[in-house]
Structure formats: structure tokens, C-alpha cells
Amino acid sequence: MWKRFDAIQRRIRTLKPFFRSFAVKLFVFVGAALILLVVLMTWYNLKVQERQLIEEVMTSASNIAQTVTHATRAFMLGGIQEKLQESILHIADKTAGIERLRLFNKEGQIRKTTHPEERGTVFAKSAEQCVGCHGAEKPAEVLDRNRSIRNIVSQDGAHRAIALTHAIYNEKECARACHLVHPPGRKVLGILDITLSLAEVDRKISENQRRFIQFGGAAFLLIMVPLGAVLFWFLVRPVGALVQGIQAVSRGDLRAEIPVYTQEEFGRLAKSFNTMLVRLRREIEYGNLLMYDPATIEGKNSARPAEGSAPGQKRADSLGVTFEEIYDRIKDETYLKVVRSVKLASLGQLSAGIAHEINNPLTAVLSYSSLLLDKATTPKEKAWLEIIVDETKRCRNIVAGLLEFSRQTVPEKVLTDINEIIERAVTLLRHQESFHNIAIVQKLDPGLPRVRVDRGQLYQVFMNLMINASDAMNRNGTLTIESRLKVVPSTVAADRRFVEVVFTDTGCGIPEHVLERLFDPFFTTKGPAQGTGLGLSICYGIIKRHDGNIAVRSKPGQGAAFTISLPASGGEDG
């Protein structure tokens, strides 16, 4: 039994997924149950009906038997036995369903019959119509109803028939009758055997059977077709969509939105799934945005194009990168970000302390060297003392830079047109000696939304980036400053708007190993007397305190582009 069950299970497992689905199983189960129900009901109804119809036939046979008995009695007593044969033929002829009517005497000889050819034939006691009584050793005198009925096949064998054996008993009138045919000692005078056709019953039953089958078929279709439709519409379709969506997401395609077909469980499930996807996308976009300026991504991709784009990998369209890539990048960038902020924080505290302590001895050095310089008499003395004074001043600048870097002041943000700050910085620097051979190209979008920034700090950042650009170009080249609006679409909330300022130079470019450490404090590529390595880390700190982002894209020999993005002020600026 269990082996069989297992075999069926195995069979089911080899079917195509659709046929293994819950809906198909349910459909098949309901269909099978329905067929079984219809068959059982039909069978039971037909049986009941057959029994009733046969009962009717029996009752009518019994009535006929009574009638014939009475007629026989009347003819016998009236002494007109010759008329009996005629009368039997007449009764048989007038009563529907009578196939044969025979009257036996005590010896088993047919005395009267509807079939004249068998008249006079003698039947043994073992004949089918006789065994009812003569089957036992002592013949029964009174036949019970069950034993008096025999199911037989009609003479021509075409249909079923039923036969009834009815005993005709001796009566006082018969014994006393003048011709003394029946002596008073005899109990049973003869046997009446009636055969009734069941053709009509069979016809009715087969007609009903046909009706039941028609009705059952119609009921089956009426139930199964809508059931199939309902199952498909409310189960197969939404579940299929859900499964497809989940499979797509598991392959890394985050655009896979599930159609919401219904408002109940599956609809709610699909809706929740879509909301979850939207959130996931938003988080990734947001994370991506926080840590990656598109410029950075482009830069990285072009630097290593083959990585992370194995064939068959789905690309998250809106992001232009795969799910795995984004995940890895977020991980890497988060790590870098944490390291950077820890570095900045500890360096900030350290530098503040050092600055204060170093300034005191520097005061003495600067004071006395300056005093001595005033009193210097020989050119050599003067030159040497000048070196001490200048170098001490350089120390002072380094310490001042450290202090500036450690400053964790909250920016005093006011609504500002970013272009104004750019123009102010450009105006100031344009006349500096280091910018004399640099062409400054401004592509400023006049329709930019305003940003909430600390003007002084932003000014400082822009100046710093421009001076860096000038140094990178060896004071000769083109510096392009572009301001533009960037809209990051969001599927859930309002789109986020950023104001971007891009400083592009035609300088020497930045090698990859430098790119990684570019914003680290004290990291510099300039000569010993030129930079402290704090400029970009100060810029980084300022932009981060403005909830913005600073990113760089560069390749050696191809210049560099620094992109600063700041969140645009939302609406309140009019």
C-alpha cells in the first residue's frame, strides 16, 4: 500500500511544475470527488427506482393472479371450463406486460395457457416454477411471497422478466360441486404461473440512467469550469506572479514589480512585496548616492571594466551595476567612511592639543629670531636669521592648518545661491599670480535652486579646490567650473534634488593609489614646502557637515574632476 503511494508520489514529482501546483491538485481532487458523488448518487437512485418499479409489477402480477383465480373458480363452478382458456387469453391480451399465463394441475400438467403449443406438457417437480414448494422434502402448502417470485429471462432472451407462482386452493364449493372434480381431501388444486415482462421497467430505468448521466455531466461542467476559472484567476495567476517576482529578485533584478491582481491575501502579499522592493531600491540608491557620485562609479568602471559583470548577471537598470557590486561597494565604502571619520576625529583632538602646545615655544623662537634679525649686522647673519624666521612662520602655518582642520564648528547655514560663492572665489583667484596662465571656464546654471550652506566654509572649499587644480596643472591649463542640478528619482518619496559643482582641470591627473587616500589628513603629493596635506580633508569635513558629498574622478595624465553635491533646499526658499 505504502509502496504504491510512494510510487504515485514519485510520479507526481516528475510532472511539470504546473501540474504539481496546488491549484491543479485541488482541481483534480474536487473533480474526482464530484465524479464519485455523481456516480454514487446515480447508482443509488437507479437502484431505489428499480426496486419501486419491480414492486409495482409484482403488485400488478398479484392482482392478475387473484383475478385469474377468481375467474377460474367462477368458470369451474359454473361448469363452463371450456370458456376458461378463452378467458385467460383475453386477460393476458388486455393486461399490459403479461408475457405468459399458465395454469397447472396438481400433477404438473399445463391445463390452460396463453401459449397453446405447450398445452398438456407435464413439468417435473424440479422445474423452476415447482421447486418453490417442491424443493423441500415435504412440499409446502403455503408459499411465502419471496419464494413465489422468480427472476427469469424472457423467452426471446431480449429482456428481463419476472414470474409469479400462485397456488389455487381447494374450497368447499369446489369439493361439493356436482361433477366432483376436486375431492374434499385435496388442498392444492393447481398452480397459476404468471410471467410478466420487465421490458418497460428496464426501459424506464435506462431512460433515467441516461437522464442522470446527462444531469451529472452538466453539473460536473457547471461546477468544474467556474472552479477552474476561479482557481486560475485568484490562485494560479497571483501566485505565479509572486513566484516570478521573487525569482527575479533572487537573481538580482530589483525592478521586478509584481502585478497586484486582487485585493485579498495574494494582492496584499504582492503589495507588501512591492513596497519591500521599493524600500530596498531606495536604500541602495541612497547608499549608492551617499558614497558614490556617478562620476566615481564611472571612473571605477572604466578603470576595471571586466570586474563584476559576469555573463548572465542581471544588472539593476536604474543603477547601472549589479546587486552584488552595489553591496560590495557599500561595504567597502562604509568601511572607508568609518575609518576616515575615526581618523578625522582622533586627529582633530590630537592636532588641537598639539597646536596649542607648539605655539608657545614657537612664540619664543619667532620673537627672538625676529629681534635678532632686526639687530643683524652682517649679510650672513641676516640671511640665516631670515631662514629661522621664515621656517618658524611655516611652522605657524602648519599649526594653523591643523587647528582649522580640528575645528568641528557647526556650519552657520543660510540660503545661498551657490553660483555667487563660485564667482566670488573666481574673482579673487583670477588675479593671483598662480592663475595668470589658467583659463577659467564657468558653466553655471542660472536656474539652480538655492542651498543652505555656510558661505565662508563653502568659499574655503572652492578656493582650496581651485588652488589644487592650479597646482596640478603647473599653473597652466584650463579649469572648468560647472554648476548643475541633479535629480535623483525616488519611487517612494519626492525626488531628491542636489546642486552639483564640478571642478575639472587639465592637469596631471591622480593615480589610483593616491585617489584612495586623497581625503586623508596629512596626505599630500606636493613638495615639502608647499602643502600640509590638510586642504582636502578640511574640504571633506566641511562638505560632510553640509550633508553633502565630495567625489573625485581622475586618471593619470587626463586631469581630474572634483564633484561636490549638496542637497538642494526644499521649497521654502520660494
Partner 1 sequence: MDKICLLIVDDEKIVQRSCIDIFAEKSDRYEVHTVSSGEEAEALLLAGRRFDIILTDLKMPGLPGTDLIAKIRSKYPETAVIVITGYSTVQIAVEVMKAGAVDFIPKPFTPAEIFNVVENVASKLKSRVHPK
Minimum distance from residue 374 beta carbon to partner 1 (Å): 8
Query: Is 339 in contact with 521 (CB distance < 8 Å)?
Result: no
Interface residue list for partner 1 (CB under 8 A): 352, 355-368, 370-371, 374, 389, 392, 395-396, 400, 403-404, 407, 409
Close Cβ partners of 85 (under 8 Å, ≥ 6 residues apart): 112
- Report how far apart, in Å, the C-alpha atoms of 42 and of each of 52, 202, 207, 300 are: 15, 15, 12, 77
Cell matching residue 486? 541633479
- Residue 319 carries which DSSP code? T
CA dihedral sign of residues 308, 310, 313, 318? positive
Nearer to partner 1, 82 or 374 (CB): 374
Nearer to partner 1, 107 or 357 (CB): 357
Minimum distance from residue 396 beta carbon to partner 1 (Å): 5
Minimum distance from residue 569 beta carbon to partner 1 (Å): 25
Helix (H) or strand (E) holding 332: helix 323-375
Minimum distance from residue 432 beta carbon to partner 1 (Å): 22
Q: CA angle, 364 as apex, 360 and 370 as ends, to 5°?
A: 135
Q: CA angle, 517 as apex, 515 and 518 as ends, to 5°?
A: 60
Is 84 strand, coil or helix? Answer: helix
Is 386 strand, coil or helix? Answer: helix
Query: What is the β-pairing status of strands 110-113 and 149-153?
Result: unpaired
With CA atoms as reference, report the closest residue to 35 among 219, 206, 208, 226: 219
Nearer to partner 1, 66 or 409 (CB): 409
Minimum distance from residue 412 beta carbon to partner 1 (Å): 10
Close Cβ partners of 415 (under 8 Å, ≥ 6 residues apart): 450, 451, 452, 569, 573
Nearer to partner 1, 214 or 409 (CB): 409
Nearer to partner 1, 52 or 409 (CB): 409
Minimum distance from residue 460 beta carbon to partner 1 (Å): 11
Locate cell 483534480: which residue? Answer: 28
Nearer to partner 1, 355 or 561 (CB): 355
Minimum distance from residue 519 beta carbon to partner 1 (Å): 21
Nearer to partner 1, 199 or 400 (CB): 400
